Structures are given as C-alpha cells and as structure tokens.
Chain A
Amino acid sequence: MTPPTTESATARLGRLLTMVPWLVNRQGIDLRRAADELGVSTDQLEADLRLLFLCGYGQMPDELIEADWEGGRVFVGNADEISRPLRLGVDEAVTLIVGLRALREVPGLDERDAVDRALAKLESAAGEAAAPASRVRAEVGSRVEADVLSRVRGALADHRRLHLRYVVPARDEATERDVDPMRVVGMDGAWYLEGWCHRAEDVRLFRLDRIEDLVVLDVDGTPPQQAHERDLSEGTFRPAPDDVTVVLRLLPGATWVADHYAVDDVEEVPASEGGGLRVSLRTADTAWLRRLLWRLGGAGRVESPADLAAEVLGGADAALAAYSRA
C-alpha cells in the first residue's frame, strides 16, 4: 500500500512522526524490509530519510537528525524529541477500538480474552481520542453458529478436507460437497469459507450460515495449485462474461431490490408512468430471479428476456392451480 502521490504535507509529517520511532527501535534494519513494513516504496523511504536529515531542533550539525542508509541498512539517530510516536489520532483510535469490539462479537472466538486485554490497554493509551469510538459500531458477521465457525477454522489450521451439506435458499437447492478450505472471511454481515470445491472443480465461497451439515474428513485438505483466492474487494458477487442480462421493472414497493442485489444500471421511471425503477443485472442462473418475481407479487416485472418472463408466468400459474381446486 503506497501512499497516494498527492499525500499532503501534514499527512506526510504524520507518517514521518510514526516512522522515526519505528526506525529508532530497529537500528540497522534492511531498507527494503523497512519500506515493506512501513507500507511505502524504497524510493519513498529514501526520500523521507533525506528529508529527516535536513531537520532538527536547531540548524547546527549536532542539532540535526542523523539518517544513514549506506549499504542498504537504515540508522536514525539524534531524534530524541520524536523517538516516541505521537498519540493516536481520533481516526486511528476509532479504527482499532471499533475493530476489536467487532472481533469480540464473533461467535465462539477463542481469543476473546486477548481482545479484552488489548481493548483495555488501547483505551487507556488513546485517552480522549477513544471517546468517539463509542459512536461507531461495526459488525463483521454474527449470523453463524460458533460451532460451525470453530470447526471450519480448525479444518483450515489442520489442512483437513470438509464435507458440507450446503443450502442455497435463493435457488432452493441443497448440495453435498467436498471442500479443501483456503480461508475464512467475514464480510457484509456474514462469514464465508473460501475453498476448492471438488464438485465444481473450482474455487467457491460458502456462507457458513447456509451449511446445514459439516464433517471434518480425515483426508488431507491442501487445495490444488490452481486454487487462487478471489479478489473480494468488490464484494462476494462476481459477474461472468456469459451471464444473461435481465431487465426488471420495479414498482415503488419493490425498489429495495436495487439496493439488495448487485445491479448494473438503475433508471428512474417518472411518476406519470407509475414511478419506481427499471434496473438491469447480469446473472448466470435465473432460478433465483423466478423466485424473486413470485415474491414481489406483481410489484416487479421481467421486461427481458421474454423466456424468463414466460417462466415466471408459467410457474405462478402452476402454483395457483393448487388453490383453485377448492
């Protein structure tokens, strides 16, 4: 993570005031390693060291900070005034405190005691900067049984294969799968197991609260070499090139769909035409869309493709047939 090229003078100062104590306590550290751990390029680190070298509490040579990185090893001296880090800023205190409190809520976390001790020390170190943290509250995923989370974590740590019975409510489908665990990620309110699925012969994400049954197999669960972690920075949904594009007309009561699902385009429909939205989205599988449209009960309509609209109609007709006997 390289700081943006537009780093402001004060942001850079803040970074230097953190960097100096870090380096003072690691005299002789390898330049490249220091840059890595400080989250900057080696060029940036050298530029920072050149700047430090020009600063001091006075301008006589013995009043200036010493910075030396000859031969790729970094030494920083004569910086007693700033040899301790600046107190935590509000954003700094808030991120760590809110992050720790979120960890506390993870069901069945063995490290809860460490979290509590870290939290107590951090709050006392942060002083006043800790107060606003009480007004920010985050959740990383609570909808999971402690037992499922801890067994999946155990399988990951021991490199064991898992057998899952997995339910996908949107498709009303339950499948049996063998999975080699790769990592356990908590995001968007749920916990996910990412792993190599032997049924799909590909990397898949499984939401832990949809695992109906779980067995840790006595089989090596090291994922194959071609298994690569997915980039989850855009969320868990990943459109594919061969997806079908679906256009939905959403009346005012159904516009929540645009918030809830990953939609590509959203167009507002004027009140004179009934209001609401027209959205388009891409999906490989339309079973969940049929179910969504039955649920919306007329507040949503498939505009295209026509065969999906016909399936929604046919399915709703078939369902109504069961009630018309009486």
Chain B
Amino acid sequence: MSSENGGGAPSGAQAKTERLLNLVLVLLYTRRPLSKAQIRRLVPQYAANASVEAFERMFERDKDELRELGVPLVTEDIDALWEDEPGYRIHQRDYALPDIAFEPDELAVLGLASRTWAQASLAGPAAQALRKLRAAGVERDAEALIGIEPRLRTTEPAFDAVKDAVVRRVRLRFGYRRPEDAEASERHVQPWSLVSWNGRWYLTAYDEDREAPRVFRLSRISGAVRTVGRPGAFEVPEDHEPHVMARREGTPATQPSPAVVRVRQGAGHSLRRRARTVGDVDDTWSLLDLDYHDLDMQAEELASYGADVVVEQPPELVDAVVERLRGAVLAHGGAVR
C-alpha cells in the first residue's frame, strides 16, 4: 500500500497524527495508569525517538494538545509505593459522549442549528458536533423540510479572537474606534458576552479603564486583538443581560410625543403603516397622526421624505426638520432664504 505522498516517509503532520492517535488508543485501552517509560515502549513513534529528553519534550507537548482538543488525559499515581512516578490514562467514561437518543424532529432542528453556522467561521465545529451526535444514529430522514434557512455570518475580522476570549474568560486589549473619534484608542476589557443583533456582533465587557460595563461593536475593533493573562481570570455578573445591554445602545426610552404631518398621496408608506390615524385632505395630501420618541431621529426620518412630507405639529419638530433641509441645501452649494 502506497503512503499518502506517493511513496517515502509519511509527512511530519501525518506522523504526528499517527502518534497522537496511538497515544489516545493506548491510554484508553489500559486499565491502570501507565508510566512514561511504558508509554514510550507502547507508542512506536515515541520508541523511534533517539533520546529520552526528546521523547519527554514531545510527550509534554502532545499531552497539552490532546487536552486542548478536549481529550480528558489525567495524571494518577501508579502505585502508593512509587508516589513520585506519575502515571497517565484516559477514562472511557470521561472520554465518550454520553449515549443520547434524539428523536427525528430533534435531529432535524439540530441540523438546522448546525447549518445556521455554515457560512461563518465556526462552520467546522458546527458540522463536527452534528456528526458526533449522529454517529450512533441509524440513518433516518432527519433532514425534514422545515422550510427555513437561518444563517449567521461572522465577517468581522475580530470575531474568532473575541469569541475565544469570551468562551474562556480571558482579558483582552484591542484598538477601538467610535464613529465620532478621529483615532482608535486602546481598550482593556474583561469580555463578558458576544451578542448578534440586527446582523452585527457586539461584545459586552467590563471596561477596566473606564471602570464600567461597555458595549463594543466588533466591526469597530481595529488591528489585532490580544489576550492578557490566563483563562478564567474574572467572573461575569450573574445578572448580566447581554442582549438588553447591546440593544440599549442608541435607543433611549422616553414617553412618546404626538406629531401631525401632511403626506403626499402615494408616498410615505412607512409613515402610513405606523400612523395612529390617516385622513385624506384632498387628492394630493393625507394628514397623519404619529407618535415619536426621539425628536432628532423623528426629524431625520421626516426630512428624508423631502417635499413629500410637511410637518404641521409640533413647532419644535417643524424647526428640526427645516434645520436639516437647510443643512442639505447649504452642503450642496445652495442658498437658504
């Protein structure tokens, strides 16, 4: 049988995968913890290593990488008489995914949950997780047509680094630039949670410089995201509500105020949909009663209709709309009366 690269010795990565897989098999098979010397004899890729020191360095790295992958490799005393000689093994009960039977409709929604990430940076883990859950399952028609395709995107360059820090609770520093700032400023934060809202990802975090919780939009993080210190370095407050905090950005809640606006026939469709009342004045105009919360936001919306909308009441809203229209005239080289 030819080897993977068309003959010759297996590549470095290939040899390493073989070595790690043999190590996992040996440590799962054993009923007692194995000493390093025993492991070196049982795993042929270690046995082939020239020196004990080289083996030990390799073994230390391999242990770390297996644990990083989630393999529960443990250290136990081999024997009470040999306390200073550690032994290693993997317990099957800690290694294996518990045997859980999913109903076909449950597998269908799990499939949908997995495919939600199909175009995101987490597509690989999402697909692998589903394969694990389905490993033992007899093939069933689990792809029942639910008829919807939810999908999450992770186009922000900072996503993976921030996600890892949130998941592992590692402090971060990064450059951040608010729209009103000329330059990015460095932030030091304890990342609490990652939230997507309206198609954008936000980080909620404790800002160590400002000594207060803050929301950061991932697309505004500039440059590299660096971790500071070790995992599990802080606790996330129990009452932290990430989506509430992210949503609060830019949406102040106030009492609604009434407005009266004149809207040209055939125009102002969005205004008509949310109006309290709509009456026709004549063939050209309708009169709408609206509620608004934020004077500036409402003025921006109404100004955007140009000559199709005329504000009647209240006077402060009239002034705010006129101010915007004048601004647009001046910016484009016109003169205002």
Query: B-contacting residues of A (Cβ < 8 Å)?
Result: 1, 3, 7-10, 12-19, 21-22, 25-26, 38-39, 47, 50-59, 65, 81-82, 84-96, 99-100, 102-103, 106, 111, 114-115, 117-118, 121-122, 124-125, 129, 132, 135-141, 149, 153, 156-157, 167, 169, 172-174, 183-191, 212, 232-233, 235, 252-253, 255-256, 259, 271, 275, 290-302, 309-310, 312-313, 315-324
Cβ-neighbour of A135 out of B135, B167, B326 (below 8 A) = B167
Give every chain B residue within 8 A of A93 (Cβ-Cβ).
129
B301 contacts partner chain A, Cβ-Cβ < 8 Å: yes
Query: Please, how many angstroms separate the alpha-carbon atoms of A253 and B300 in the complex?
Result: 13
Q: State how many angstroms separate the Cβ of B117 from the closest Cβ of chain A.
A: 5
B292 contacts partner chain A, Cβ-Cβ < 8 Å: no
Whether the Cβ atoms of B300 and A297 lie closer than 8 Å is yes
Whether the Cβ atoms of B195 and A100 lie closer than 8 Å is no
In the complex, besides A1-B127, A291-B304, 4 extra interface pairs with C-beta distance below 8 angstroms are: A84-B95, A89-B70, A93-B129, A94-B125
Whether the Cβ atoms of A140 and B70 lie closer than 8 Å is no
Q: Within residues 285 to 337 of chain B, which ones have a CB less than 8 A from any CB in chain A?
A: 300-301, 303-310, 318, 322-334, 336-337
Whether the Cβ atoms of B324 and A86 lie closer than 8 Å is no
Give every chain A residue within 8 A of B180 (Cβ-Cβ).
252-253, 255
Query: Please, how many angstroms separate the alpha-carbon atoms of A39 and B125 in the complex?
Result: 12
Q: Which one of B52-60, B80-88, B100-108, B251-259 contacts A?
A: B100-108
Query: Please, how many angstroms separate the alpha-carbon atoms of A271 and B180 in the complex?
Result: 11
Give every chain A residue within 8 A of B163 (Cβ-Cβ).
136
Q: State how many angstroms separate the Cβ of B246 from the closest Cβ of chain A.
A: 9
Whether the Cβ atoms of A95 and B126 lie closer than 8 Å is yes
For B243, the closest partner residue in chain A by CB is: A137
Given A50-B3, A189-B199, do A102 and B132 touch, yes or no (CB 8 Å)? no
Give every chain A residue within 8 A of B328 (Cβ-Cβ).
293-294, 296-298, 312-313, 316
Cβ-neighbour of A96 out of B99, B100, B110 (below 8 A) = B110
Q: List 8 A-B contacts (CB under 8 A).
A: A8-B13, A10-B69, A52-B21, A132-B168, A138-B195, A140-B116, A190-B199, A320-B325
Whether the Cβ atoms of A315 and B131 lie closer than 8 Å is no
Query: Please, how many angstroms separate the alpha-carbon atoms of A293 and B163 in the complex?
Result: 37
Whether the Cβ atoms of A157 and B147 lie closer than 8 Å is yes
**What class of interface size applies to chain B in its complex with A?**
35 or more
Whether the Cβ atoms of B132 and A88 lie closer than 8 Å is yes
B97 contacts partner chain A, Cβ-Cβ < 8 Å: yes
Whether the Cβ atoms of B270 and A172 lie closer than 8 Å is yes
Give every chain A residue within 8 A of B102 (Cβ-Cβ).
118, 121
Given A87-B97, A302-B332, do A319 and B325 touch, yes or no (CB 8 Å)? yes
Query: Please, how many angstroms separate the alpha-carbon atoms of A319 and B151 in the complex?
Result: 41
Query: Please, how many angstroms separate the alpha-carbon atoms of A123 and B102 in the complex?
Result: 13
B44 contacts partner chain A, Cβ-Cβ < 8 Å: yes
B134 contacts partner chain A, Cβ-Cβ < 8 Å: yes
Query: Please, how many angstroms separate the alpha-carbon atoms of A115 and B112 in the complex?
Result: 10
Whether the Cβ atoms of A316 and B332 lie closer than 8 Å is yes
Q: State how many angstroms separate the Cβ of B210 from the closest Cβ of chain A.
A: 21
Query: Please, how many angstroms separate the alpha-carbon atoms of A57 and B34 in the complex?
Result: 13
Whether the Cβ atoms of A184 and B109 lie closer than 8 Å is no
Whether the Cβ atoms of B270 and A169 lie closer than 8 Å is yes
Give every chain A residue within 8 A of B95 (Cβ-Cβ).
84, 86-87
B214 contacts partner chain A, Cβ-Cβ < 8 Å: no
Give every chain A residue within 8 A of B309 (Cβ-Cβ).
319
Given A17-B24, A103-B112, do A125 and B100 touch, yes or no (CB 8 Å)? yes
For A97, the closest partner residue in chain B by CB is: B113
Query: Please, how many angstroms separate the alpha-carbon atoms of A294 and B330 in the complex?
Result: 11
Whether the Cβ atoms of B25 and A96 lie closer than 8 Å is no
Q: State how many angstroms separate the Cβ of B315 from the closest Cβ of chain A.
A: 11
Given A13-B69, A296-B328, do A125 and B109 touch, yes or no (CB 8 Å)? no
B78 contacts partner chain A, Cβ-Cβ < 8 Å: no
Whether the Cβ atoms of A92 and B132 lie closer than 8 Å is yes
Which of A84, A91, A300 has the largest count of B CB atoms less than 10 A from its CB?
A91
Which of B92, B96, B139, B333 has the largest count of A CB atoms less than 10 A from its CB?
B96
